[in-house]
Amino acid sequence: MAERYSRQERFAPIGKEGQALLAEKHVLIVGAGALGCANAEMLARAGIGKITIIDRDYIEWSNLGRQQLYTEEDAASSRAKAKAAEARLKAINSNIEVKGIAEEFDPENAELLLKDIDILIDGTDNFDTRFIINDAASKYKVPWIYGGCVKSHGISLSILPGETPCLQCLIDQLPQDGETCETAGIIGPAVQVTAAYQTAECLRFLTGHPMSTHLVSFDVWGRGYSAIDVAKLKDPQCASCSDAAQFPYLKKERGMRTAVLCGRDTVQVRPGGKENVNLERLARRIEPFAGEAKVNEVLLRFQMEEKRFVVFRDGRTLIHGVDNVQEAKKLYHRYVEA
C-alpha cells in the first residue's frame, strides 16, 4: 500500500508533500456522464481524500461507449449514474471517501453541496446547469473547472472567483451552437483529453500551484489547438461575479418545473417540492396498466402510452418519447402524481 502513489509522488511538482495534501481534499463533481466519469476515476486513483459526485440521470446503453465507470449490468438495470459511480470508485480505491448523490444540481441544494469542498469540476452537458454552478461558485468563493466536449472538440477553463473572469464574463467566448452528444455525436478521445486538462488543473490547485488563466480548446480529430489568455476579460458589471452581483441563476423557482432535455426527445418534470415517493407502491398501482414495472435503489421505470417513464424517489420524472411540456405535465399528473 505504501507504493500506491509512488509514481505520482516521484513527479516533482507533487511529491510526498503534495500527495499528503491530496488526501485531505474534497472535490465535488457535478455530472456523472463522460467527463464526470473520466475526472472521477483519475482523481480517485490520484488519492483525493473525498469525492462527491452528483447526477440526475440513469445509465442507458448509449452511455457505455464513453462513460467508463459503467457496465452492461448497470445499463440493463437502469442504475442511477451517481450510485453506480460511487460503487465503482470505491472498488478502485477503498482508501478514499466517495459519495454519490442521485439528484439534480440546482439552486435549492447548491449551498449545501458547496459547503466544505475545495474545488468543483464541471461534468455536465448543458449550459443551464453550468450557469447555476457559476453563480454558486462565485457566491460561495469556490474554485471550479469548466469543461465541455462534442464531436471531436473539447474545451477547458479554470475559474477562481474574485480573481479570474467567470463563465458569464466570457459568454461571448464560448461555443453555444446548440450541438450536443445526442445530436452531433462524440468520440472517446475528445472526452479523455478534456478530462485530462480538467484533472491536471485540479491537481495543480490542490497541491498549491496556480491554475491557468487560459481558455484551452482543441480538436483531436483535426489536430487543432488554441489557448487564449482570458485574465483581462473580467466584466466589472457582471451579474454573477462583480461586487454588485445578483446571482440570477440561483433564484429559486416555485411550483412544478419542466425542462426539455436537448436532443433526447425527453421532458423532465419536477414537482414543486422534493417528495419522498414510495416507488414500490407506485409500481404496484400502475403495473396492471403498464405491464412490468422495474424498481431499483433510486428509481422506477415503466412504459405507458408508448412513453417510457423514469421516476426518482424525490418525485423527479423523466418522460421519454415526448418533447412537449404540456403533454409531459398531463402524463405526469395522470400516472405519477395520481
Tell me, what CATH number does 71's domain have? Answer: 3.40.50.720
State the DSSP code for 177: S
Say if residue 273 is in the same domain as residue 147: no
pLDDT band at 263 (very low <50, low <70, confident <90, very high): low
Question: Residue type for 297, please?
Answer: E
Distance CA 159, CA 166 (A): 6
pLDDT average, residue stretch 46-64: 95
Distance CA 306, CA 182 (A): 21
Say if residue 130 is in the same domain as residue 216: yes
Q: Do the domain assignments include residue 1?
A: no
Q: Which of 206, 228, 250 is the last residue of a domain?
A: 250
Residue 265 has a pLDDT of 85
Say if residue 318 is in the same domain as residue 191: no
Question: Residue type for 84, please?
Answer: A
Question: Which residues are within 8 A (CB) of 267 and not within 5 positions of it... i.e. 6 or more apart?
Answer: 258, 259, 260, 261, 318, 319, 322, 323, 324, 325, 327, 328
CATH code of residue 264: 3.30.310.10
All 3 cell numbers of residue 96?
Answer: 478514499
**Using one digit for the tens of pLDDT, what is the confidence trace for 73-129?**
999 999 999 999 999 999 999 999 999 999 999 999 999 999 999 999 999 988 889
Mean pLDDT rounded to a whole number for the chain = 92
Say if residue 177 is in the same domain as residue 205: yes
Say if residue 196 is in the same domain as residue 275: no
State the DSSP code for 336: I
**Using one digit for the tens of pLDDT, what is the confidence trace for 200-258?**
999 999 999 999 999 999 999 999 999 999 999 999 999 999 999 999 999 877 778 88
Residue 176 has a pLDDT of 63
The DSSP string of 77-136 is TT-BHHHHHHHHHHHH-TTSEEEEE-S---TTTHHHHHTT-SEEEE--S-HHHHHHHHHH
Say if residue 244 is in the same domain as residue 324: no
Say if residue 165 is in the same domain as residue 244: yes
Say if residue 228 is in the same domain as residue 91: yes
pLDDT average, residue stretch 158-165: 96
Say if residue 264 is in the same domain as residue 237: no
Say if residue 98 is in the same domain as residue 195: yes
Q: Which of 250, 272, 294 is the last residue of a domain?
A: 250
- pLDDT over 90 at 175, yes or no: no
Expressed as residue numbers, the domain containing 297 is: 257-336
Q: Do the domain assignments include residue 127?
A: yes
Q: Which of 217, 250, 283 is the last residue of a domain?
A: 250
Distance CA 288, CA 286 (A): 6
Residue 118 has a pLDDT of 98
As a residue count, the chain comes to 338
Distance CA 13, CA 248 (A): 39
Say if residue 126 is in the same domain as residue 153: yes
Q: Output the CA–CA distances (angstroms, integers) from residue 38 to 122, 127, 231, in the order listed.
A: 11, 20, 27
Give how many domains the chain has, as a whole number.
2
Q: What percent of the chain has pLDDT over 70?
A: 96
Residue 188 has a pLDDT of 92
- pLDDT over 70 at 58, yes or no: yes
- pLDDT over 80 at 281, yes or no: yes
Q: What percent of the chain has pLDDT over 90?
A: 75
Burial (CB count <10 Å: 0-12, 13-18, 19+), residue 241: buried
Say if residue 155 is in the same domain as residue 88: yes
Question: Residue type for 11, please?
Answer: F
Q: How far is CA 43 from the centre of its chain?
A: 15
